[in-house]
Structure 1
Amino acid sequence: MTGMNGEAPPAPAGKRAGPDRIGPVLFAQGGDAGRDRLRALLVCPAGETPPTIVTDEGEIAPMVLVEEFGRTVHAYDFSLPSGTSSGYEIDGVRYPVTSPAMPDMRIGYVSCNGQEEGDLDRPIEERDAVWQRLADENLRDPFALLLQGGDQLYADDVLRCHPEVERWESMEKTERGAVALTPEITEALRRFYFERYLITYDRPAFASLAARVPSIMMWDDHDIIDGWGSHPAEMLDSPVGKEIFAAAREMFLIFQLAIRPDETPATGFDTTGTNLGTAIRYPGLSVISPDLRSERRLERVMGETGWRVLERAFEETPRGDRILVMSSVPALGPRLSWAEFAADILPGSNEYEDDLRDQWQSRTHRTEWKRFLSLLAGWEESGRGELTVVSGEIHLATRGEMRLKGGSIMHQLVASGISHPAPSPGYPRMLGLLARFGESPLKGRKIRIRPLPGYATTYAGERNYLVLDRKGTAWQAVWELEETGRTAPIAI
């Protein structure tokens, strides 16, 4: 909502407002042998005439996605030649773009862009040190895609955006339905997410990458609030709880899927908007991103809509494609039933219950986990193509292997904590101990968690990002670790 003169009303006392202008931010829309389709977002002050984008197609005029809080979010749809390096110009600045269809190309993967408390209070040089390393690397050796696998936004501060939301958060989870929803709460929630996206996208390292490398994004819990979906129904379905999700979803559609709030993704398979999973395809490459939050509940990861979306994405993948599956929480991981048992009985441990319930390996989700693994394994075992899982969420770097029937190996690559502080040393040690026991939810397909090349422990407790490198038909992966530096490559 804007003021009478088109300007944004002042932010509530103590709340941080975002900039009036951000962008361009590029989003990958897929491509074929001729053109790569792109969408760019640009945010301007409301009422200001936006610039055009210039490409080899000519001038590209914007369309309006939304006008909110004194700004207009514009979108530009255009395409660039496939299989080459090209670019576009806006406001007199030219931005080079590398096609994902080139025989030799690189993909970056990041997750966990923030921290739970005080994220805006950190010096940007410290907060974005690894982002800056990634941005500098892109200027030296450009990436064709940037996969952002969850927690692009640490939005937990939304619980302090309004006094009644703070009161809601302070209550027992099962009693939160007692707080009534008001128009003022709705406005405060929507404003919070809108402004936080502007602040996040305005940071220099991110802005440099986002203008040059098309992103594919999928949300996770912190893009809503911590543990969203792994809480009691009384909390999720309370009037304020439902409005938190609605506001987060609205802004996720605008700023991470680059569509209007009343649209469903053109790269998705669910016209109802219940599940926002996507599949984005280029010649020989499909990036499948299941939505593991929209339908999540204590007893499930996805509803039947989500499963239909995911299974259809696999069914429609061309034979021979390399599939990259972005699972926001790791698909391969250590057995967690013992940790969940301890959380049930040990005093003070129930605060970790939602974190454990978030994982595919939770005892509550075991049937679904097997369904997910069967889908992944079935793709390779059927001979239709190769598949790699990329994942984040755990604030550590590691990798996993599942040995498939016939002797091939499905790889999982975990890169988590592009800006989240490294955890205390006890956390990776504890997960490493659990990982020693292995796990075999699918008969005859053993899972093992492996250390990064040259790393002493199974889990690397440093901020990091992942680089996937394709040369012809050969793929390899390396991690960039904040302290240790570059790992040796592994073939995937």
Structure 2
Amino acid sequence: MMDEAQRPGRAGPILHFRGMAGQGIRLAAIVIRPKDEPAPPPIRLSEAEIAPRRIAQIAGIAVWRHDFTLTPADGGYEFEGTFHAVATDLSGDLRLAFVSCNGEENGDLDRDGAERNLMWTRLARDHARAPFALLLQGGDQIYADEATQGHPLSRDWPDKVPEVDDLAQLADLAEHLRRRFVARYLHVLQAPGYAAMAAQVPALSVWDDHDICDGWGSLPEQRSRSAVGRTLFGVARETYLLFQHGAAEGDIPELFLDASGESLGWKRELPGLTIAAPDLRSERHRHRIMGPAGWQAVEALAPQGEHVFLVSSVPLLGPRLSLLERVMMAIPRMQHYEDDLRDQWQSRVHRAEWRRLLAEVLKWRARAHVTALSGEIHLATRAVMGPDAQKVHQLVASGISHRAPPQAYARALGLFAGLGEAPLPGHPIRIHPLPGQRHRYVAQRNYLILARRDGRWQAVWHLEESGETPALDLSD
């Protein structure tokens, strides 16, 4: 018998973390139902009932949201007769999970569910053993690359983009894309391992290119700025807000650092911890990663915690890709990889901007420990920047469901990383193997567990074949 949440057009509850509220936490829970069904029931707390309100109707479904505060006395909430325990005391020992790359470019909707969601099942089992307080999602939560197929205006995207100014045709394209994006989000939200986590562990998410389309922002600008490109971005943004933040346009000033919504970077302050995520996609084009709104938000961030987790959807600390970029552009058969290289902070085109962000990170490091969390590369690795007195860690966990690339690719990248990089004088970047591993990059599906015990943070990767790594201390 099909589980209730897996019926067409149904999912939830899915928790989103809004922030602290005294000794409690503020949450939003979204519930998805077919548009013609009545409203879902209220959420029941120990001393209150929270009725939902509909925040969107899209592609045949309605999205309902319950906004509420949980205290340690509540311990969780009840919905449709099921009690969902939620970690509410975030002041002491704490466990967080970090994931990225939840899908694949081609055929993701047709994959065997048990194989696709194997690591989600393991993560849900880890949560059942020792609960997570937050789920951090570092980008590519869906792979929307095939969403453009099946419509005459977008079927050849991005290789051929027709010129069109007919508003009716563009509206038809937008409806086509909404149906396709919603199908991909429901495919993720209904997956058993994910659904079990989503009802109990509030999420904080940032998007990357596949949440829009492969290479968004690094494609030729006449394509991304075309009417078709703007329509694609608009639908991707609408569904990103809705399913990854439980939000509509009117919620932007409360949830994001830029009240205008030009940039969707965010910050959350927890006891002793700041979690921040700049938006590396909304203002991006081939010659920049962030625009004025994004940079203003980053430079005004002012983290308050004793430790800062900076979620950078594209790895902040990486090897000397500018050299590889020059070599590949000299080889005609390799030039089609230019967009992939330009997507990185380390691209020669973005080097000045990269230094600018690293300089901001060092300002935060003067007051707190800083750890960058990244995904995107479908490998697991780590890096360190700077002398020990100003050490900045980077942890990359990429591929919660995306299958790993060949081992030979990981080995070759590891050799290339041995060249080293130092964009800021006196602060070299070094790529290191994970604890217990021999090579710099691990080609296995993976996720990351971050744990604070007695005020000190440690990181453990869970690798599909090798299991858990020894703990890495982040507070040294």
Name the TM-score, length of structure 2 as normaliser. 0.95
Match of 1:295 among 279, 283, 306: 283
2:472 pairs with 1:484: no
CA deviations on 1:2-23 (whole Å, 9 max, x unpaired) are: xxxxxxxxxxxxxxx9822100
Q: Is the 8 Å Cα contact of residues 161 and 189 (structure 1) preserved in structure 2?
A: no
SS of equivalent residue, structure 2 residue 296: helix
Match of 2:306 among 305, 311, 321: 321
Alignment partner, residue 125 of structure 1: 114
Instruction: State the match for 1:387 in structure 2.
Output: 370
Out of 32, 39, 47, the residue aligned to residue 49 of structure 1 is 39
Task: Name the amino acid aligned to 1:113.
Answer: N
- In 2, the alpha carbon distance for the partners of 1:321 and 1:80 equals 24
Q: Distance in 1 between matches of 2:422 and 2:179?
A: 46
In structure 1, give the amino acid aligned to 2:293.
Answer: T
Identity %, equivalent residues: 45
Contact 1:267 1:280 in 2 (8 A): no
Letter in 1 for 2:234: A
1:257 and 2:245 aligned = yes
Which of 43, 48, 53 aligns to 1:58? It is 48
Residue from 398, 403, 421 that aligns with 2:381 = 398
- Give the Cα separation in 2 of the matches to 1:353 and 1:483: 32
| Inter-partner Cα distance in structure 2 for 1:177 and 1:472 | 60
Conserved 8 A contact 1:150-1:219: yes
Change (3 A) 1:100 1:347: farther
Cα shift readout 1:262-284 (whole Å, capped 9, x = no counterpart) = 43152322111100000012121
Hey, what's the Cα distance between the residues in 2 that align with 1:327 and 1:100? Answer: 26
Structure 2 residues not aligned, in runs of 5+: 1-5
TM-score (norm 1): 0.92
Deviations 1:89-117 (A, max 9, x none): 00000000012614111000000000110
Moved more, 44-53 or 390-399: 44-53
Contact 1:376/1:387 (<8 A) preserved: yes
- The answer to whether the Cα contact below 8 Å between 2:24 and 2:89 also exists between their aligned partners in 1 is no
> Matches of 2:189 and 2:200 in 1, distance apart?
14
1:86 aligns with 75
> Is the 8 Å Cα contact of residues 27 and 202 (structure 2) preserved in structure 1?
yes
Within-5 A mapping of 1:304-343: 304-313=292-301, 315=302, 317-318=303-304, 320-343=305-328
Closer, same or farther: CA 100–344 of 1 in aligned 2, 3 Å: farther
Change in Cα spacing, 1:179 to 1:112, as seen in structure 2 (3 Å) is farther
Which secondary structure state, in structure 1, belongs to the residue aligned with residue 252 of structure 2? coil
1:223 and 1:54, CA in 2 relative to 1: closer, same or farther beyond 3 A? same
Q: Is 1:77 the equivalent of 2:67?
A: yes
1:36 and 2:11 aligned = no
Deviation of 1:70 after TM superposition, in Å, equals 2.6
Q: Is 1:100–1:282's contact at 8 Å kept on the other side of the alignment?
A: no
Moved more, 63-72 or 241-250: 63-72
1:83-122 to structure 2, matched below 5 A, reads 86-99=75-88, 101-122=90-111
Question: Structure 2: how far apart are the matches of 1:32 and 1:377?
Answer: 30
Residue aligning to 1:138: 127
CA distance in 2, matches of 1:390, 1:335: 19
Counterpart Cα distance in 1 of 2:75 and 2:251: 30
Could you tell me which residue of structure 1 aligns to residue 266 of structure 2? 278
Instruction: Please say if residues 98 and 397 of structure 2, whose CA atoms lie closer than 8 Å, have aligned partners that are also in contact.
Output: yes
AA paired with 1:450? H
- Pairing 1:420–2:375 present: no
Residue matched to 2:438: 456
Structure 1 position 260, deviation (Å): 1.1
Give the aligned length: 466
229, 243, 248: which one aligns with 2:231: 243
| 8 Å contact kept, 1:155–1:225 | yes
Checking the alignment, whether the CA contact within 8 Å between 2:383 and 2:394 is kept in structure 1 is yes
Superposition CA RMSD, Å: 1.7
SS at match of 1:393: coil
Corresponding residue SS for 2:258: coil
Q: Which moved more, 1:264-273 or 1:245-254?
A: 264-273
In structure 2, the CA distance between the partners of 1:253 and 1:87, relative to structure 1 (3 Å rule), is same
SS state at 1:431 partner: helix
Contact 1:18 1:195 (C-alpha < 8 Å) held by counterparts: no
Shift of 1:347: 2.2
Residue identity opposite 2:322 in structure 1? S
The one-character-per-residue Cα deviations of 1:284-312 (angstroms, maximum 9, x if unpaired) are: 11110111000010000000110011122
SS state at 1:39 partner: strand
Q: Structure 2: which amino acid aligns with 1:248?
A: A
Gaps of 5+ in 1: 1-16
For the pair 1:439 / 2:428, whether they are aligned, the reply is: no
- Contact kept? 1:265, 1:276, Cα under 8 Å: no
Separation in 2 of the partners of 1:465 and 1:73? 29
Distance 1:283-1:33 versus aligned 2 partners, 3 A rule: farther
1:205 Cα deviation after fit: 0.5
The Cα offsets for residues 219-264 of structure 1, whole Å up to 9 and x where unpaired, read as 0000000000001110011110110000000000111111113431
Deviating above 4 A after TM superposition, structure 1's stretches of 4 or more consecutive aligned residues are 178-181
Check if 1:163 corresponds to 2:152: yes
What is the CA–CA distance in structure 1 between the aligned matches of 2:376 and 2:100, rounded to whole Å? 7
Residue 100 and residue 449 in structure 1: after superposition, are their counterparts in 2 closer, same or farther (change >3 A)?
A: farther
Q: Distance in 1 between matches of 2:89 and 2:416?
A: 38
Letter in 2 for 1:53: I
Q: Tell me the equivalent position of 1:5.
A: none
Q: Which residue of 1 aligns with 2:3?
A: none
State the partner residue of 1:13.
none
Aligned equivalent of 2:141: 152
Offset of residue 342 of structure 1: 2.1
